[in-house]
């Protein structure tokens, strides 16, 4: 059986705790791999390696950092198919979706390659006679990232490339459900020339998480996951004096106005609700149908939903793969099973779906619930699976009030041909990311990702300018010097070192 160990100080390190967790192939239900679960002293070893590496990495020139990142980008691009295959094997998403995940992660590496621009400071000369004032940004030191199972490559790439580009060193704790991609990312970083200890990977469970949150040498923690855990991360990390960036869960609404192209809206609802089997924090969970369009829209979505091809992610014909675990599949199914009793109409019930040649896989079909009451569990909870709820609203005003009353504010979208309505929506809706005829408004790498309300804990969104600011701290330097008097001659062209 394959074992995934830790990556500490530039090399693979066998687990020493004696504890291992199972890693399943969701398409077959078989345990093909085990992952070492770190004890406290193993986390300490990774943090110590990062702390020692920071002594030199924190002062390495921007030119050298970016040279390594450019090489890293080349290696990731060359190995994207391999990384995607690891994701499919352990997460279950179809290969094309896994390739898309790697591509979105590459965007952030490209952002990190431009760190020389992002770290430019500000200078004011002659603020007083002979006095200049400069604002600069400097790294924090050792920082940590705790990442979820649903994007085992992309979310780590949202964090550590920006952090190390800014001069920090990093300890990554990936999900123990699908750890192979993160380990491979670390191997490729070393191949690109990243010095030992700058990037470390410790696999583990709550023991490892808690140690990172309390460790005195960890200056900041980034997290992506569910809202309850995000709240816990923020509380524990702040108690120990750390900077926190914790992205939580979501219940994303897609508002469809009567003037929208219903075929386009139905296509996009299918893509956004059922892509990656709904295991996305940006998945559309609720369609809000305004006015008389509800019946037609629901029929169009249902027709498309029942035609989807579900199977193993390695099958090129599959459009949706299995869920991550058997337990999660059963939990998702329970929302559909209980929906009718809570007042919803079950239009499509995918809970009995099976794949003939993969009888033990964690498969589930797609489900569509109509006229879902806002008091129903299927509406109130983050299901994190292929279940789409439809609610009805008579007017735009009723719809916007419904959306804004949600405790979450991650992403939302509006489908309309009316530019005035779209502009009003983007200003009035209480969410951190808004799509206009775009169902999953995940920003490109140079704009930051993050929600509002119970979808974000901490002051900074992730990647983009917010990511750079999170991984650095400002310093203002005021200077007065006599007129310079330089000596010596050197006709050589100035070089960056």
Instruction: Judge contact between 169 and 51, C-beta under 8 A.
Output: yes
Q: Give the tokens for residue 328.
A: 């999660």
Cβ-in-10-Å burial (0-12, 13-18, 19+) of 70 comes to: middle
- ∠ CA(39), CA(229), CA(451), 5° rounding? 135
CA distance 339 to 351: 12
Q: In terms of Cα–Cα distance, which of 362, 361, 379, 359 is closest to 370?
A: 379
Options 113, 166, 281, 389, the catalytic residue: 281
- 48 strand-pairing partners: none
- Catalytic (active site) residue 389: no
CA distance 95 to 318: 9
- ∠ CA(280), CA(162), CA(234), 5° rounding? 60
In terms of phi and psi (left: phi > 0; alpha: psi -120 to 50; beta: otherwise), the region of 339 is: alpha
C-beta contacts of 23-26 below 8 A and 24+ residues apart = 23/90, 23/176, 23/177, 23/178, 23/179, 23/180, 24/90, 24/177, 24/325, 24/362, 25/89, 25/90, 25/92, 26/90, 26/91, 26/92, 26/321, 26/322, 26/323, 26/324, 26/325, 26/361, 26/362
- DSSP-derived pairing of the beta strands 11-13 and 6-8: antiparallel
Catalytic residue annotation: 281
């Amino acid at each position: 059986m394959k074992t995934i160990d830790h990556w500490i100080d530039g090399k693979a390190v066998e687990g020493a705790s004696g504890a291992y967790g199972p890693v399943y192939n969701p398409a077959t239900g078989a345990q093909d791999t085990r992952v070492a679960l770190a004890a406290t002293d193993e986390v300490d070893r990774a943090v110590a390696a990062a702390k020692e590496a920071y002594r030199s990495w924190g002062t390495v020139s921007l030119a050298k950092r970016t040279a390594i990142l450019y090489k890293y980008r080349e290696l990731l691009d060359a190995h994207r198919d391999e990384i995607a295959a690891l994701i499919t094997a352990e997460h279950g998403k179809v290969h094309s979706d896994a390739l898309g995940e790697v591509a979105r992660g590459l965007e952030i590496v490209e952002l990190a390659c431009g760190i020389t621009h992002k770290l430019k400071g500000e200078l004011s000369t002659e603020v007083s006679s002979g006095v200049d004032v400069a604002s600069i940004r400097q790294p924090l030191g050792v920082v940590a990232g705790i990442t979820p199972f649903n994007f085992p490559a992309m979310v780590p790439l949202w964090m550590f490339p920006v952090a190390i580009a800014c001069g920090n060193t990093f300890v990554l704790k990936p999900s123990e459900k699908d750890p192979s991609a993160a380990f491979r990312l670390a191997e490729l970083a070393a191949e690109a020339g990243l010095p030992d200890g700058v990037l470390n990977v410790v696999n583990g469970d709550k023991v490892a998480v808690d140690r990172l949150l309390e460790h005195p040498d960890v200056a900041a923690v980034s997290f992506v996951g569910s809202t309850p855990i995000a709240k816990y991360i923020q509380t524990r990390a702040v108690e120990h004096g750390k900077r926190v960036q914790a992205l939580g869960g979501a219940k994303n609404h897609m508002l469809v106005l009567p003037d929208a192209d219903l075929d386009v809206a139905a296509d996009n609802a299918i893509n956004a609700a059922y892509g990656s089997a709904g295991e996305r924090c940006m998945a559309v969970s609720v369609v809000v149908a305004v006015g008389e369009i509800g019946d037609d829209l629901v029929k169009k979505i249902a027709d498309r939903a029942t035609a989807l091809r579900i199977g193993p992610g390695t099958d090129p014909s599959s459009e949706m793969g299995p869920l991550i675990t058997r337990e999660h599949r059963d939990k998702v199914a329970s929302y559909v099973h209980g929906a009718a009793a809570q007042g919803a109409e079950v239009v499509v019930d995918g809970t009995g779906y099976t794949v003939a040649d993969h009888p033990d896989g964690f498969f589930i079909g797609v489900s569509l619930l109509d006229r879902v009451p806002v008091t129903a569990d299927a509406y109130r909870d983050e299901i994190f699976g292929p279940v789409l709820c439809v609610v009805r609203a008579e007017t735009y005003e009723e719809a916007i009030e419904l959306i804004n009353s949600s405790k979450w504010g991650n992403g939302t979208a509006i489908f309309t041909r009316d530019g005035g309505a779209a502009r009003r929506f983007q200003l009035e809706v209480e969410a951190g990311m808004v799509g206009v005829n775009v169902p999953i408004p995940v920003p490109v790498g140079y704009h930051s990702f993050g929600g509002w309300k119970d979808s974000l804990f901490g002051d900074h969104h992730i990647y983009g300018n917010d990511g750079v600011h999170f991984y650095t701290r400002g310093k203002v330097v005021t200077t007065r010097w006599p007129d310079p008097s330089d000596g010596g001659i050197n006709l050589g062209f100035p070089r960056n070192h």
